[in-house]
A and B are shown apart, each in its own frame.
Chain A
Amino acid sequence: SITGACRAIQKLTRVRVVDNSALGNTPYHRPPKCIHVYNKTGVGKVGDTILLAIKGEKKKALIVGHKMPGPHMTPRFDSNNVVLIEDNGNPVGTRIKTPIPYILRQREGEFSKVLAIARNFV
Protein backbone atom coordinates (compact mmCIF):
# COMPACT_ATOMS: atom_id res chain seq x y z
CA SER A 1 0.00 0.00 0.00
CA ILE A 2 1.24 3.48 -0.79
CA THR A 3 0.54 6.29 1.67
CA GLY A 4 -0.37 9.71 0.36
CA ALA A 5 2.64 11.98 -0.09
CA CYS A 6 3.65 13.56 3.22
CA ARG A 7 3.15 17.30 3.40
CA ALA A 8 6.33 18.47 5.14
CA ILE A 9 9.43 16.28 5.04
CA GLN A 10 10.21 13.82 7.83
CA LYS A 11 11.76 10.35 8.10
CA LEU A 12 10.68 7.93 5.38
CA THR A 13 9.07 10.52 3.09
CA ARG A 14 9.66 9.94 -0.58
CA VAL A 15 11.12 13.05 -2.19
CA ARG A 16 11.75 14.23 -5.70
CA VAL A 17 15.31 15.19 -6.63
CA VAL A 18 15.19 18.31 -8.76
CA ASP A 19 18.72 18.94 -10.04
CA ASN A 20 20.39 17.28 -13.02
CA SER A 21 22.80 15.09 -11.07
CA ALA A 22 23.39 11.49 -12.16
CA LEU A 23 22.43 10.10 -8.73
CA GLY A 24 19.12 11.91 -8.77
CA ASN A 25 18.07 11.14 -12.32
CA THR A 26 19.08 7.52 -12.98
CA PRO A 27 16.10 5.22 -12.42
CA TYR A 28 16.18 2.81 -9.50
CA HIS A 29 13.57 0.36 -8.27
CA ARG A 30 13.12 2.33 -5.00
CA PRO A 31 12.33 6.05 -4.80
CA PRO A 32 14.72 8.33 -2.82
CA LYS A 33 13.60 8.47 0.83
CA CYS A 34 14.50 10.75 3.71
CA ILE A 35 16.14 8.93 6.63
CA HIS A 36 17.06 11.82 8.93
CA VAL A 37 16.24 15.50 9.28
CA TYR A 38 18.97 17.79 10.70
CA ASN A 39 16.59 19.68 12.91
CA LYS A 40 15.51 19.79 16.55
CA THR A 41 12.03 18.64 15.50
CA GLY A 42 12.07 15.81 13.02
CA VAL A 43 10.10 17.89 10.50
CA GLY A 44 11.92 19.49 7.60
CA LYS A 45 10.73 22.70 5.95
CA VAL A 46 12.24 24.78 3.12
CA GLY A 47 15.95 25.37 3.76
CA ASP A 48 16.56 22.38 6.04
CA THR A 49 19.16 19.70 5.34
CA ILE A 50 18.12 16.07 5.35
CA LEU A 51 19.82 12.72 4.83
CA LEU A 52 18.57 10.87 1.78
CA ALA A 53 18.85 7.17 0.88
CA ILE A 54 19.31 7.03 -2.92
CA LYS A 55 20.39 3.94 -4.85
CA GLY A 56 21.65 2.27 -1.70
CA GLU A 57 23.81 5.30 -0.77
CA LYS A 58 23.40 7.98 1.88
CA LYS A 59 23.48 11.55 0.61
CA LYS A 60 22.70 14.89 2.18
CA ALA A 61 20.13 17.12 0.50
CA LEU A 62 18.52 20.53 0.83
CA ILE A 63 14.73 20.94 0.85
CA VAL A 64 13.61 23.51 -1.71
CA GLY A 65 9.86 23.06 -1.60
CA HIS A 66 7.22 20.92 0.04
CA LYS A 67 3.51 20.20 -0.26
CA MET A 68 2.69 21.68 3.15
CA PRO A 69 1.28 25.22 3.05
CA GLY A 70 3.77 27.55 4.70
CA PRO A 71 3.46 31.22 5.72
CA HIS A 72 1.29 33.42 3.48
CA MET A 73 2.96 34.91 0.39
CA THR A 74 5.33 31.90 0.16
CA PRO A 75 4.89 29.32 -2.58
CA ARG A 76 3.56 25.82 -1.97
CA PHE A 77 4.71 23.19 -4.44
CA ASP A 78 2.84 20.16 -5.72
CA SER A 79 5.72 17.81 -4.87
CA ASN A 80 8.40 17.62 -2.18
CA ASN A 81 11.49 18.94 -3.97
CA VAL A 82 15.04 18.37 -2.86
CA VAL A 83 18.53 19.28 -4.18
CA LEU A 84 21.45 16.88 -3.56
CA ILE A 85 24.30 18.42 -1.60
CA GLU A 86 27.76 17.41 -0.33
CA ASP A 87 28.83 17.64 3.30
CA ASN A 88 30.47 21.02 2.74
CA GLY A 89 27.40 22.49 1.04
CA ASN A 90 28.41 22.14 -2.61
CA PRO A 91 25.58 20.97 -4.84
CA VAL A 92 26.10 17.72 -6.75
CA GLY A 93 24.22 18.74 -9.90
CA THR A 94 24.95 21.65 -12.22
CA ARG A 95 21.50 23.04 -13.03
CA ILE A 96 18.12 23.32 -11.34
CA LYS A 97 15.21 23.83 -13.72
CA THR A 98 12.30 23.81 -11.25
CA PRO A 99 11.40 27.08 -9.51
CA ILE A 100 13.02 27.79 -6.12
CA PRO A 101 11.39 30.04 -3.49
CA TYR A 102 13.00 33.42 -2.90
CA ILE A 103 13.03 32.75 0.88
CA LEU A 104 16.21 30.70 0.44
CA ARG A 105 18.06 33.90 -0.48
CA GLN A 106 17.82 34.91 3.16
CA ARG A 107 20.51 32.38 4.01
CA GLU A 108 22.74 33.41 1.14
CA GLY A 109 25.87 32.43 3.08
CA GLU A 110 25.11 28.73 3.34
CA PHE A 111 23.24 28.21 0.07
CA SER A 112 25.01 30.63 -2.27
CA LYS A 113 26.28 27.82 -4.53
CA VAL A 114 22.85 26.17 -4.75
CA LEU A 115 21.23 29.51 -5.55
CA ALA A 116 23.87 30.13 -8.19
CA ILE A 117 22.87 27.04 -10.18
CA ALA A 118 19.12 27.72 -9.85
CA ARG A 119 17.44 29.11 -12.97
CA ASN A 120 13.90 30.07 -11.98
CA PHE A 121 12.79 31.72 -8.78
CA VAL A 122 9.20 32.03 -7.54
Chain B
Amino acid sequence: RINSDGKPAKFQPPPKPVIIDKQKQREERRFLSPEFIPPRGRTDPLKFYIERKDMIQRRKVFNIPEFYVGSVLAVTIADPYANDKVNRFVGICIQRGGKGLGATFVLRNVIEDQGVEICYELYNPRIQAIEVLKLEKRLDDHLMYLRDALPEYSTFDMNMKPVSRLDHEEIPVNKLQVRMKPKPWSKRWERPKYNIKGIKFELPETKMKAAQKWSQPWLEFDMLREYDTSKIEEKIWKEVSEELKK
Protein backbone atom coordinates (compact mmCIF):
# COMPACT_ATOMS: atom_id res chain seq x y z
CA ARG B 1 0.00 0.00 0.00
CA ILE B 2 1.25 3.49 -0.78
CA ASN B 3 0.65 6.51 1.46
CA SER B 4 -0.57 9.86 0.25
CA ASP B 5 3.11 11.01 0.42
CA GLY B 6 4.16 8.39 -2.01
CA LYS B 7 6.16 6.29 0.47
CA PRO B 8 5.19 2.68 1.27
CA ALA B 9 3.20 2.54 4.58
CA LYS B 10 4.23 0.29 7.41
CA PHE B 11 2.46 -3.01 7.41
CA GLN B 12 -0.40 -2.97 9.89
CA PRO B 13 -1.89 -6.34 10.66
CA PRO B 14 -5.71 -6.50 10.41
CA PRO B 15 -7.52 -6.12 13.79
CA LYS B 16 -8.20 -9.44 15.48
CA PRO B 17 -11.92 -10.38 15.55
CA VAL B 18 -13.34 -10.22 19.09
CA ILE B 19 -15.38 -13.36 19.75
CA ILE B 20 -18.28 -12.79 22.17
CA ASP B 21 -19.52 -16.20 23.21
CA LYS B 22 -23.13 -15.36 24.03
CA GLN B 23 -23.88 -18.86 25.25
CA LYS B 24 -21.41 -18.63 28.10
CA GLN B 25 -21.76 -14.98 28.98
CA ARG B 26 -25.51 -14.72 29.48
CA GLU B 27 -26.55 -15.44 33.04
CA GLU B 28 -28.84 -18.32 33.53
CA ARG B 29 -32.30 -16.87 33.98
CA ARG B 30 -33.93 -18.40 37.01
CA PHE B 31 -37.65 -18.75 37.23
CA LEU B 32 -39.26 -20.20 40.31
CA SER B 33 -43.03 -20.63 39.99
CA PRO B 34 -44.72 -18.49 42.66
CA GLU B 35 -46.67 -21.41 44.16
CA PHE B 36 -43.44 -22.94 45.53
CA ILE B 37 -42.81 -20.03 47.88
CA PRO B 38 -44.55 -20.84 51.19
CA PRO B 39 -46.85 -18.17 52.62
CA ARG B 40 -45.86 -16.37 55.77
CA GLY B 41 -47.27 -18.12 58.83
CA ARG B 42 -46.65 -20.50 61.68
CA THR B 43 -47.23 -23.78 59.81
CA ASP B 44 -44.62 -26.52 60.04
CA PRO B 45 -42.17 -26.31 57.13
CA LEU B 46 -42.52 -30.09 56.87
CA LYS B 47 -45.94 -29.61 55.31
CA PHE B 48 -44.49 -27.42 52.56
CA TYR B 49 -41.62 -29.85 52.05
CA ILE B 50 -43.99 -32.76 51.48
CA GLU B 51 -46.13 -30.64 49.15
CA ARG B 52 -43.05 -29.58 47.21
CA LYS B 53 -42.05 -33.21 46.75
CA ASP B 54 -45.47 -33.97 45.29
CA MET B 55 -45.33 -30.90 43.05
CA ILE B 56 -41.90 -31.90 41.72
CA GLN B 57 -43.16 -35.43 41.12
CA ARG B 58 -46.02 -34.07 39.01
CA ARG B 59 -43.69 -31.74 37.14
CA LYS B 60 -41.46 -34.64 36.19
CA VAL B 61 -44.36 -36.37 34.52
CA PHE B 62 -46.07 -33.33 33.04
CA ASN B 63 -44.34 -30.17 31.85
CA ILE B 64 -45.70 -26.97 33.40
CA PRO B 65 -44.12 -24.12 31.42
CA GLU B 66 -43.02 -20.79 32.75
CA PHE B 67 -45.68 -18.11 32.38
CA TYR B 68 -46.71 -14.84 33.99
CA VAL B 69 -49.87 -12.83 34.45
CA GLY B 70 -50.55 -11.35 31.04
CA SER B 71 -49.30 -14.22 28.90
CA VAL B 72 -51.67 -16.02 26.56
CA LEU B 73 -52.05 -19.74 27.27
CA ALA B 74 -53.89 -22.67 25.69
CA VAL B 75 -55.03 -25.40 28.09
CA THR B 76 -56.45 -28.80 27.09
CA ILE B 77 -58.22 -30.78 29.80
CA ALA B 78 -59.85 -34.21 29.78
CA ASP B 79 -63.60 -33.69 29.88
CA PRO B 80 -66.00 -36.66 29.89
CA TYR B 81 -68.79 -34.48 28.49
CA ALA B 82 -66.97 -32.96 25.52
CA ASN B 83 -66.77 -34.41 22.01
CA ASP B 84 -63.38 -36.13 21.66
CA LYS B 85 -63.22 -36.03 25.47
CA VAL B 86 -60.77 -33.06 25.31
CA ASN B 87 -61.61 -29.46 25.88
CA ARG B 88 -59.25 -26.72 24.65
CA PHE B 89 -59.41 -23.15 25.94
CA VAL B 90 -57.25 -20.20 24.96
CA GLY B 91 -57.06 -17.11 27.13
CA ILE B 92 -54.96 -14.48 28.84
CA CYS B 93 -53.84 -15.25 32.37
CA ILE B 94 -55.35 -12.61 34.61
CA GLN B 95 -54.40 -14.00 38.02
CA ARG B 96 -52.23 -16.65 39.62
CA GLY B 97 -53.37 -17.66 43.08
CA GLY B 98 -52.95 -20.34 45.70
CA LYS B 99 -49.80 -21.95 47.04
CA GLY B 100 -48.62 -25.53 46.88
CA LEU B 101 -50.69 -28.15 45.08
CA GLY B 102 -53.81 -25.97 45.03
CA ALA B 103 -52.19 -23.33 42.84
CA THR B 104 -54.63 -21.91 40.28
CA PHE B 105 -54.55 -19.55 37.35
CA VAL B 106 -57.51 -17.83 35.71
CA LEU B 107 -57.70 -17.53 31.92
CA ARG B 108 -59.99 -14.98 30.31
CA ASN B 109 -61.26 -14.75 26.74
CA VAL B 110 -64.18 -13.15 24.95
CA ILE B 111 -66.05 -15.62 22.70
CA GLU B 112 -68.96 -14.35 20.55
CA ASP B 113 -69.21 -11.13 22.61
CA GLN B 114 -69.47 -13.11 25.84
CA GLY B 115 -66.62 -12.83 28.36
CA VAL B 116 -65.62 -16.23 29.78
CA GLU B 117 -63.18 -16.89 32.61
CA ILE B 118 -62.01 -20.32 33.70
CA CYS B 119 -60.02 -20.98 36.86
CA TYR B 120 -57.67 -23.93 36.27
CA GLU B 121 -55.67 -25.80 38.89
CA LEU B 122 -52.03 -26.22 37.85
CA TYR B 123 -51.59 -29.65 39.43
CA ASN B 124 -54.95 -31.14 38.52
CA PRO B 125 -54.45 -34.51 36.79
CA ARG B 126 -57.25 -33.70 34.33
CA ILE B 127 -55.02 -31.17 32.59
CA GLN B 128 -53.41 -32.74 29.55
CA ALA B 129 -51.41 -29.88 28.04
CA ILE B 130 -50.51 -26.28 28.84
CA GLU B 131 -49.01 -24.32 25.91
CA VAL B 132 -47.73 -20.81 26.19
CA LEU B 133 -48.80 -19.02 23.00
CA LYS B 134 -47.38 -15.64 23.98
CA LEU B 135 -45.02 -15.19 26.92
CA GLU B 136 -45.04 -11.67 28.28
CA LYS B 137 -45.45 -9.73 31.50
CA ARG B 138 -47.70 -6.80 32.25
CA LEU B 139 -47.36 -3.82 34.54
CA ASP B 140 -49.63 -5.25 37.27
CA ASP B 141 -49.81 -8.41 39.40
CA HIS B 142 -53.36 -9.14 38.32
CA LEU B 143 -55.49 -8.07 35.39
CA MET B 144 -58.94 -8.15 37.03
CA TYR B 145 -59.65 -4.76 35.47
CA LEU B 146 -59.98 -6.45 32.08
CA ARG B 147 -63.57 -7.24 33.10
CA ASP B 148 -64.34 -3.52 33.01
CA ALA B 149 -62.14 -2.77 30.01
CA LEU B 150 -63.27 -2.72 26.39
CA PRO B 151 -63.69 -6.32 25.15
CA GLU B 152 -61.02 -5.93 22.45
CA TYR B 153 -58.30 -6.21 25.14
CA SER B 154 -59.50 -9.66 26.22
CA THR B 155 -60.27 -11.23 22.83
CA PHE B 156 -57.86 -13.85 21.59
CA ASP B 157 -58.35 -16.16 18.65
CA MET B 158 -58.98 -19.78 19.66
CA ASN B 159 -56.68 -20.99 16.90
CA MET B 160 -53.92 -18.54 17.68
CA LYS B 161 -50.43 -19.62 16.61
CA PRO B 162 -47.68 -19.54 19.26
CA VAL B 163 -45.51 -16.45 19.02
CA SER B 164 -41.89 -17.52 18.64
CA ARG B 165 -39.26 -16.04 20.91
CA LEU B 166 -35.55 -16.67 21.42
CA ASP B 167 -34.44 -18.52 24.52
CA HIS B 168 -31.97 -16.06 25.91
CA GLU B 169 -34.03 -12.91 25.49
CA GLU B 170 -35.58 -11.31 28.54
CA ILE B 171 -39.31 -11.61 28.92
CA PRO B 172 -40.92 -8.53 27.35
CA VAL B 173 -43.01 -6.30 29.60
CA ASN B 174 -46.09 -5.09 27.76
CA LYS B 175 -46.64 -1.51 28.86
CA LEU B 176 -50.09 -1.41 27.36
CA GLN B 177 -52.49 1.11 28.89
CA VAL B 178 -55.97 -0.29 28.64
CA ARG B 179 -59.04 1.83 27.86
CA MET B 180 -62.03 1.20 30.08
CA LYS B 181 -65.78 1.04 29.59
CA PRO B 182 -67.70 3.93 31.17
CA LYS B 183 -68.12 3.76 34.94
CA PRO B 184 -69.52 2.03 37.10
CA TRP B 185 -66.78 -0.60 37.29
CA SER B 186 -66.76 -3.74 39.43
CA LYS B 187 -64.07 -2.17 41.63
CA ARG B 188 -62.89 1.43 41.86
CA TRP B 189 -59.62 0.83 40.05
CA GLU B 190 -58.51 4.46 40.27
CA ARG B 191 -58.03 4.13 44.05
CA PRO B 192 -54.40 3.82 45.23
CA LYS B 193 -55.17 0.60 47.18
CA TYR B 194 -55.21 -1.37 43.91
CA ASN B 195 -52.12 0.39 42.55
CA ILE B 196 -53.03 -0.31 38.93
CA LYS B 197 -50.59 1.01 36.35
CA GLY B 198 -52.02 -0.56 33.24
CA ILE B 199 -55.16 1.56 32.82
CA LYS B 200 -55.43 4.76 30.80
CA PHE B 201 -57.68 6.73 33.15
CA GLU B 202 -59.81 9.15 31.18
CA LEU B 203 -61.42 10.52 34.34
CA PRO B 204 -61.35 14.24 35.20
CA GLU B 205 -58.52 15.49 37.42
CA THR B 206 -60.92 16.21 40.30
CA LYS B 207 -61.93 12.53 40.46
CA MET B 208 -58.34 11.35 40.39
CA LYS B 209 -57.43 13.70 43.22
CA ALA B 210 -60.51 12.63 45.21
CA ALA B 211 -59.42 8.99 44.80
CA GLN B 212 -56.04 9.79 46.40
CA LYS B 213 -57.95 10.60 49.61
CA TRP B 214 -58.02 6.82 50.26
CA SER B 215 -54.27 6.41 49.94
CA GLN B 216 -52.46 4.84 52.87
CA PRO B 217 -48.84 6.02 52.43
CA TRP B 218 -47.77 4.52 55.79
CA LEU B 219 -48.38 0.96 54.52
CA GLU B 220 -45.12 0.70 52.58
CA PHE B 221 -43.11 1.48 55.75
CA ASP B 222 -44.99 -1.02 57.92
CA MET B 223 -42.33 -3.46 59.12
CA LEU B 224 -44.76 -6.09 60.33
CA ARG B 225 -46.06 -6.54 56.81
CA GLU B 226 -42.62 -7.16 55.34
CA TYR B 227 -41.97 -10.61 53.93
CA ASP B 228 -38.54 -11.00 52.40
CA THR B 229 -38.57 -14.09 50.23
CA SER B 230 -35.12 -13.84 48.62
CA LYS B 231 -33.34 -16.35 50.90
CA ILE B 232 -36.29 -18.75 50.93
CA GLU B 233 -36.42 -18.55 47.13
CA GLU B 234 -32.72 -19.37 46.82
CA LYS B 235 -33.07 -22.47 48.97
CA ILE B 236 -36.18 -23.70 47.23
CA TRP B 237 -34.71 -22.97 43.79
CA LYS B 238 -31.67 -25.12 44.55
CA GLU B 239 -33.84 -27.92 45.89
CA VAL B 240 -36.28 -27.85 42.98
CA SER B 241 -33.70 -27.57 40.20
CA GLU B 242 -31.64 -30.42 41.61
CA GLU B 243 -34.69 -32.68 41.84
CA LEU B 244 -35.86 -31.84 38.34
CA LYS B 245 -32.45 -32.54 36.79
CA LYS B 246 -32.44 -36.11 38.08
- A69-113 interface bits toward B, Cβ cutoff 8 Å, 1 = contact, 0 = none: 100111111110100000000000000011100111110000000
A122 CB-CB contact with B under 8 Å: yes
Q: Is the CB of B121 within 8 A of A102?
A: no
A25 CB-CB contact with B under 8 Å: no
Interface residues of A in 1-57 (CB under 8 A from B): 4
Q: Is the CB of B117 within 8 A of A73?
A: no
Q: Is the CB of B118 within 8 A of A75?
A: yes
Stretch from B55-63, B81-89, B170-178 contacting the other chain: B81-89
A120 to B116, CA, bound (A): 12
A120 to B82, CA, bound (A): 11
Q: Given that A102-B79, A103-B81 are known contacts, is A72 also in contact with B114, CB under 8 Å in the complex?
A: no
Contact size class for B? 20 to 34
B138 CB-CB contact with A under 8 Å: no
A73 to B104, CA, bound (A): 10
- B94-123 interface bits toward A, Cβ cutoff 8 Å, 1 = contact, 0 = none: 000000000010000001111111111100
Kindly identify which residue among B82, B114, B117, B186 contacts A102, using a CB–CB cutoff of 8 Å.
B82
Q: Is the CB of A73 within 8 A of B77?
A: yes
Kindly identify which residue among A72, A78, A103 contacts B116, using a CB–CB cutoff of 8 Å.
A78
Q: Is the CB of B115 within 8 A of A78?
A: yes
A120 to B115, CA, bound (A): 13
Q: Is the CB of B104 within 8 A of A72?
A: yes
Q: Is the CB of B81 within 8 A of A122?
A: no
Residues of B within 8 A of A122 (CB): 87, 89, 111, 116, 118
Q: Is the CB of B112 within 8 A of A102?
A: no
**Smallest Cβ-Cβ distance to A108: which chain B residue:** B81
Q: Which 7 A-B pairs have the closest CB atoms?
A: A78-B115, A105-B81, A98-B114, A102-B81, A76-B117, A75-B116, A75-B118
A interface residues with partner B (beta carbon < 8 Å): 4, 65, 69, 72-79, 81, 97-99, 102-106, 120-122
